[in-house]
Structure 1
Amino acid sequence: MSAPAQPTARPIPRIEPSTILWALVILGVVTMVPPADLWATIHHLRVPDTDDAMRLAEVRDLLSGQGWYDIIQHRFLPPAGVPSHWSRLVDAPIAGLILALTPLAGRSLAEGLAAVLWPLLLFGLFCGVLHRGVRTQFGSRAAVLALIVATQTFGVTIQFAAGRVDHHNVQIITMIGLAFCMIRGGVRSGLIGGGLAALSLAIGLEGLPSITAAALFLMGDWCLRGRPALPLLAGFGLGLGLAAPVLFVAQTGPEHWTTTRCDALSPPWLWLALGGLLLTVCAVAAGERLASVRARVTLAGLLGVILLAGFAVAFPVCLGGPFPDMTPLVRDHWLLTVNEMASLPKLVARGQWEALVFYPVVLFATAVATGMAWRGERRRAWAVTALFLWPGLILGLFQFRGLYIASGFVPLVAGAVLDRALRSDAGRTELPRWGVALLGGCLVSTLWMAPAVVAETLMPTARTAPDPAGAIACRSEAALAPLETLPAGTVLAPIFMGPAILLHTPHAVVAAPYHRAIPGLTAAIEGLGGTQADLEQVLTRFGVRYLVACPARPADDLQPESAFATRLAEGTARSGRLERLDLPGPLKVWRVVPDPLRAGGDRAG
C-alpha cells in the first residue's frame, strides 16, 4: 500500500527589489508633510514663511480685481503702497486653483486647499523631471533611489512643504530642468533650457548665478569643441534671448518697460540675455570662419567685453547688487538678522545646529560630482551637475539661501552613488562597496539629524538665535484674529508680522520684510527700537492707528536702555498717545490717540 502524497508547499511570493524601492518612495512622499501641518494650512491658512503669506495676499488682491500689471501692495505703506518684485506668473496658477476649488469648498477653504495643493503639485513635477533625467543618465534604479533621497533632503522638502507658495520651488525645477537639457545636448534641448532659464529670471533673480555659470559653460564648450557644441549653445541663446523679453512684457506694464530694477527681470538683465542671442547669431552666421579655437575665443571675449561694458555704463546702479538703496541701519537690524541671509559661520556661532542637515549634503554632493567629472564615467553629466552645485555651495557659505537651488541636485548625486553601491561590480571601484554605501548615506540629510541633535543636547547654551516659536505664535491666525475685529487702520508692528497682518486682517501695515520698502523698515526699526520720541514721530508720520507688539520678539534696542516699545509691552512704561486695548492672545495692542494734547510722558507703570 503506497504512502499518501504529501501536499506541495506553495512557493513564497518573491517581491521584486523595484517594488520595495517604489514603496519607499510612496512612504517618503506620504510622510514628507505631517498631517497636522496639512490641517493647519487648509483650515487656518498657516504658512511656513512670511513670503508665503505675502504671496497669498497678492493672489487674494488679484482675485479681488487688482490689475494684472498692478503689482503694488496697496495696504503696505499706504497710501502710495509698495511695488512687489515678484512675478504674476506664480500668482496666476495659485489664483486659478482657488477659483477652481471655490465652488466645491467655499472661498476660505479653497485658499487653504490651494496652499497645500500647489507645492505638492510642484513636488510631483520636480520628481518627474528628476526621475526622467536620472534614469536617462544612470538607469531606472538610480532614478528611483533619487526620488527616495528627494523625500529625505531637507533643502528640498522645506521648499515643497504645505503652504510653501513662494517661488523658490519653481526655480529649483527650472534649474534642474536646465541641467538635464545641457547634459542631453542638441538644439531642442538648448531651446527648452534657454526658456527655463528665462522663466527662472522672470520669477526671481535667485537663479542668476546658476544661469550665468551655465552660459559660461556652454560658451566655453563651444570655444573648445566648435561645431559639435554649437547646436546646444545656439538653442540656449535663442531660447533665453527670445523668451526673456516675452515673459518680461507678459508681466510688466508698458509704463515700466524702461525702468531699471536690479532685483527683478528688467532692462539690465534683458541686456545680458539679448547678448546671448547676439553671440548665437554671430556664431551661426560665421560658420567655418570660426574653425579655430583662437577665433572662437576672440569672438566670445569681444562680445563679453561689449556686454559687460555696456552693462556698467547703462546700469551702474546694479553693479552693487540687488539692494542699492539699503541703508546701514536697515542692513544691520533687519537684513543680516534674517536666517536666509545668514552665513555658515554666523549660524554656527548662534548655535543653530540644524544647519547640519543642509550644508554637509551639498558639500558631499559637490565633491562627488566634481570627482566623477574629473575621472569617472558619464563625465558630462557629472560636470554639469557640479556646475550647478558649486555656485550654491559657495554662496551658501555667505548666505544660507544660496543652498536652495543646489539642494535640488543632491538627490541626483545620491541616486547615482547609492545605485553604484548596489551594483555587483561596486567592489571593483576605487572605494569598496561599504565605502560607496557610506558615501551615499552622507548624501541623505535626515541622517545628519543625529549629529545636529547631539550638538543641541551637549551645547544648549551655545544657542543664541531667537526662538522661532515666539514669532510663529505672534503671526498665527489665532493671534491675529482679535485684530480683525477692530476698524481697519494702519498698524505699526514688528517687521516679520507685516505679511501675516495683510493676510489675516483688513489692516494696512507700515513694515514688512521687503527691501523695496526702506522707509517702512526704517520706521519699524527706529520706532520700535528707539525712544518715546522716536516712536511718536513714526506714529504721526505714517498715520498709524494701532501699535502691536510681540513680547516674545522685541525689537533691537538702538540705545543703551531698553526701547520704549519694549517697556510698553512689559508694562513698565506708558504713553498718553497710546490707549491699551484688552484683547486676548499673545499680542499687546494699543490704539493711537490722535489728539496731541493728550500726549503724556514716559513714566513707570
Structure 2
Amino acid sequence: MAATASFPARKPARLDAGTILWLLVLFCAVTLYPPGDVIETIRHLRVPDTDDAMRLVEARDLAAGQGWYDNVQYRFLPPGGVPSHWSRLLDAPLAGLLLALTPLLGSGLAEGIVAAFWPPLLFVVYAAVLWTGVRTTFGKRAAVLALLAATQTFGVTVQFAAGRIDHHNLQMIAILGMAIGLIRGGGRAGAGAGALAALSLAIGLEGLPSVALGALFAVGDWVLRGRPALPAFLGFGIGLGLAAPLLFGAQTAPHLWGATACDALSPPWLWLAAGGGAAALACAGLDRRVGSVGGRLAVVAATGAVLVGGFALLFPVCLGGPFPGMTPLVRDRWLLTVNEMSSVPKFLAGRRWEVLVYYPVLALAALATTWAAFRGPAAHRRAYGVAALLLWPGLVIGWFQFRGIYVASGLIPLVAGPALARGLALAADRAAAPRLRLGLVALGVGLVSTAWMIPVVLAGLIRDGGDTSATAASFACQADDAVTPLAALPPGTVLAPIIMGPSILMRTPHAVVAAPYHRAIPGLTAAIEGLGGSEADLRRHVAAHGVRYVIVCRTRPSQGLDGPAFATRLARGDVQADWLEPLPVGGDVLKVWRVR
C-alpha cells in the first residue's frame, strides 16, 4: 500500500501594510477624477474657472499661428486688444498638444482631451516631486502617506481637477520643488531651488512671497552657520539670478525688455532676482573675511538695503501692488467681489462654509511645523523650518485674500505625511504616553483636509448653510449649452457680464468688451457702468466699443449702480428699447439683443 504524502495546509496570502497603503493611494488618486467630470470636460469643455477658459484661448491662438512674443488677445477689447501678462511657458505645452492631436481627432475633441488630461499629468509630476522629497528626508512610509494626504488635500486637488489648465498647479509644483531643494541643502540642490523659484516667477507672481522667504531662508542659514551653508546660499542665488533673466527673455518680446510691469516678471522683479544672485556672489567672496554672525549679518543688511532701496527708487509704481491704475469703481464693483480676493471673515459672514476645508488645515500645518522647527527631532528641524517659513505667507495672505492659500496648500502634504507616519508609529507603541499618542494621531488627522468635512457635514453647514445660488448662476451663465448657441450669430463684439467673457471667447467667434482681467480697465468699466447703469450709460458704452450684441444673464442680473439697472429691467420686460432688437437665442439663461 503506497504511503500517502501529507503537506501542510497553505496559509492564505496576506497583504502587508505597505501594499495596502499603496493600494489606498492608488484608489484615492483614481477617484480624484470622476468619469462624469472627465467626459463633460472632453465633450463640453467644462472648465472650473474663467482663467482656464482664457488659458485655452491663448493656447489655441498660439497653435493657430499667433506669434510667440505676440500675447495680445485681439478679440478682447477690439480693435487694439488686451496684452496678456500670462506666461507663454505654459501656453507652449498646451499648444503643442493641440497641434499633435488636432489632425487625428479634430479641434473640438483635441481641446477637450487636452483640458481633461493635462491636470492629471501635472498631478503625476507633483506626486513624483512630493514622493522624492519626503522619502529622502523622512523615509518611505512617510512619503507614501504624504501622497495619500495629497489626494485628500482640497487645496491641492482643486488645482489638479479635470479642466484646470490655469497656472496655479504648475506654480505649486515649482514652489514645492524649491522647498525640497532648500531642505536638502548643498550647491546643486540650492541651484535647482533657485531655478524653480525663477520658474514660479515667470509663470506668475503669486509665488513671489514664497520665493522671497525661500531666499531669506538661504541667506539666514548662511548668516547663522557660515561656510557649511554657503554652497546652498550661493547655488540658490546663482540659480535664481541666472534663470529669471533667461526665462524673462524667452517669453518677452525684446522691445518690451525695458518695460515695467508690476503684475508679471519684468525689470522690477529682475532687479531683485539678478541682484540677489550678485549679492550671493558678493557674500561668497567675503565669506573668509567675515567669520562671525555679526559680520555676515552686516554684509547681508548692506546688500539688502541696496536691493530694496534700488527697487523703491527705480520702480516706485510697483510699491502699491500689482494693480496700478485701477479705478475705485473697478476695484469696488469687480475686484473686491471676486471669490479669490475675498477674506476668510467675508466667507464666514456669507455662510460660505466651504472655506473650512481649506483654511484650518493650512493654519494647523503652519503652527505644527513652526513648533517642530524648534522642538522637533534635530535631524528634521531644517525641513520643518523651510516648510513653516513657506506656509506662513499663505496663512497670513489667505486670511485677507483667499488666493493666498493656493501655492501654500501644495506644502501641506509635505508636513502631513511625516505627521501621519509618526502618529501611526506611536499608536502602535504601547509604551508611549497615551497623551502623546492621542495628540499625534489627532495632529495627523487634522492635517488631512477631508477630515474637516466631518464636523461641517454633521452640523449641516454645507447642506443647509450659505446660499450657493450665486455660484450656480455664474456657472449657468458660462455653460456650454448657454453660450455655444451664440456662435450661430454673425461675428461681432459682445457686451456681456464680466464673468462671461472668457467662455464667449472660448466657445464662439465673437469678440468681447469685458472679461475678469485687471489690464482691461476700459472693458471692466463698460460692463459695470453699461450693464449696471441707465439707458444712457448703456448706449454710451455700446457706441464707444462698437458693440453689436448686448447680453444679460437672467440667472445673475447686474447690480445697479444707483437703483435697478436698465439692462436688468430690460431683461425682465419692464422697459423697452427701440435701438435693441431681441434675438431668439440664449434659452432660459441668457437674454440677447442685436444693436440696431
Contact 2:369–2:415, Cα closer than 8 Å, also in 1: yes
What does 1:182-581 align with in structure 2 at a 5 Å threshold? 182-377=182-377, 378-423=380-425, 424-425=428-429, 428=432, 431-457=435-461, 460=464, 463-464=466-467, 466-559=469-562, 561-581=563-583
Q: What does residue 79 of structure 2 align with?
A: 79
> 1:481 Cα shift?
1.8
SS at match of 1:288: coil
Contact 2:258–2:267, Cα closer than 8 Å, also in 1: yes
Q: d(CA) in 2 for partners of 1:234 and 1:491?
A: 53
What does 1:55-66 align with in structure 2 at a 5 Å threshold? 55-66=55-66
SS at match of 1:165: coil
Q: d(CA) in 2 for partners of 1:287 and 1:272?
A: 21
Q: d(CA) in 2 for partners of 1:137 and 1:556?
A: 53
Contact 1:548–1:587, Cα closer than 8 Å, also in 2: no
Deviations 1:482-525 (A, max 9, x none): 10000000000000000000000000000000000011001100
Q: d(CA) in 1 for partners of 2:461 and 2:344?
A: 20
> 1:42 Cα shift?
0.9
Q: d(CA) in 1 for partners of 2:351 and 2:442?
A: 27
SS at match of 1:575: coil
Deviations 1:550-602 (A, max 9, x none): 1111122211x2111111111211111111111252343433434xxxxxxxx
Deviations 1:301-356 (A, max 9, x none): 11111111111111110000001111111111111111111100000001100111
> 1:430 Cα shift?
8.8
Q: d(CA) in 1 for partners of 2:469 and 2:285?
A: 59
Deviations 1:33-83 (A, max 9, x none): 211110011111110000000000001111111100001000000001001
Deviations 1:329-384 (A, max 9, x none): 11111111111111000000011001111011111111111111111111101111
> 1:476 Cα shift?
1.3
Contact 1:326–1:518, Cα closer than 8 Å, also in 2: yes
Q: What does residue 141 of structure 2 align with?
A: 141
Q: d(CA) in 2 for partners of 1:55 and 1:83?
A: 13
For structure 1, list consecutive stretches of 5 or more residues without a partner in the other structure.
595-605
Q: d(CA) in 2 for partners of 1:266 and 1:503?
A: 28
Deviations 1:235-290 (A, max 9, x none): 00000000100000000001110110000000000000111111111112223112
Q: What does residue 30 of structure 1 align with?
A: 30
Letter in 1 for 2:78: P
- Check 1:281–1:576 CA distance in 2 against 1; reply closer, same or farther (3 A cut): same
Q: d(CA) in 2 for partners of 1:411 and 1:430?
A: 25
Letter in 2 for 1:428: A
Pairwise CA RMSD: 1.8
Q: What does residue 93 of structure 1 align with?
A: 93
Q: d(CA) in 2 for partners of 1:324 and 1:431?
A: 53
> 1:224 Cα shift?
1.4
Q: d(CA) in 2 for partners of 1:519 and 1:261?
A: 18
Q: What does residue 121 of structure 2 align with?
A: 121
SS at match of 1:290: coil
> 1:455 Cα shift?
4.6
Letter in 1 for 2:182: M
> 1:4 Cα shift?
8.1
Q: What does residue 592 of structure 2 align with?
A: 590
> 1:427 Cα shift?
5.6
- TM-score (normalised: structure 1): 0.95
Contact 1:350–1:465, Cα closer than 8 Å, also in 2: no
Q: d(CA) in 2 for partners of 1:581 and 1:459?
A: 38
Q: d(CA) in 2 for partners of 1:555 and 1:455?
A: 34
- Check 1:573–1:429 CA distance in 2 against 1; reply closer, same or farther (3 A cut): farther
> 1:451 Cα shift?
2.6
Q: d(CA) in 2 for partners of 1:264 and 1:518?
A: 17
Contact 1:257–1:267, Cα closer than 8 Å, also in 2: yes
Contact 2:476–2:589, Cα closer than 8 Å, also in 1: no
Letter in 1 for 2:129: V
Q: Name the stretch that deviates more: 436-445 or 335-344.
A: 436-445
> 1:3 Cα shift?
12
Q: d(CA) in 1 for partners of 2:510 and 2:430?
A: 62
Q: d(CA) in 1 for partners of 2:23 and 2:11?
A: 23
Q: d(CA) in 2 for partners of 1:393 and 1:271?
A: 27
Q: d(CA) in 1 for partners of 2:142 and 2:592?
A: 59
Contact 2:69–2:253, Cα closer than 8 Å, also in 1: yes
Q: d(CA) in 2 for partners of 1:276 and 1:449?
A: 43
Q: d(CA) in 1 for partners of 2:5 and 2:412?
A: 58
For structure 2, list consecutive stretches of 5 or more residues without a partner in the other structure.
none
- Check 1:200–1:138 CA distance in 2 against 1; reply closer, same or farther (3 A cut): same
Q: d(CA) in 1 for partners of 2:171 and 2:548?
A: 39
Q: What does residue 598 of structure 1 align with?
A: none
What does 1:96-107 align with in structure 2 at a 5 Å threshold? 96-107=96-107
> 1:429 Cα shift?
6.6
Letter in 2 for 1:294: G
Q: What does residue 178 of structure 2 align with?
A: 178
Q: Name the stretch that deviates more: 486-495 or 440-449.
A: 440-449
- Aligned-pair identity in percent equals 59
Q: d(CA) in 2 for partners of 1:456 and 1:237?
A: 50
- Check 1:179–1:425 CA distance in 2 against 1; reply closer, same or farther (3 A cut): farther
Contact 2:195–2:240, Cα closer than 8 Å, also in 1: yes
SS at match of 2:258: coil
Q: d(CA) in 2 for partners of 1:38 and 1:437?
A: 35
Q: What does residue 601 of structure 1 align with?
A: none
Q: d(CA) in 1 for partners of 2:316 and 2:187?
A: 34
- TM-score (normalised: structure 2): 0.96
Q: What does residue 597 of structure 1 align with?
A: none
Q: What does residue 155 of structure 2 align with?
A: 155
Q: Name the stretch that deviates more: 180-189 or 468-477.
A: 468-477
Letter in 2 for 1:149: A
SS at match of 1:405: helix
> 1:124 Cα shift?
0.2
Aligned residues: 592
> 1:443 Cα shift?
1.1
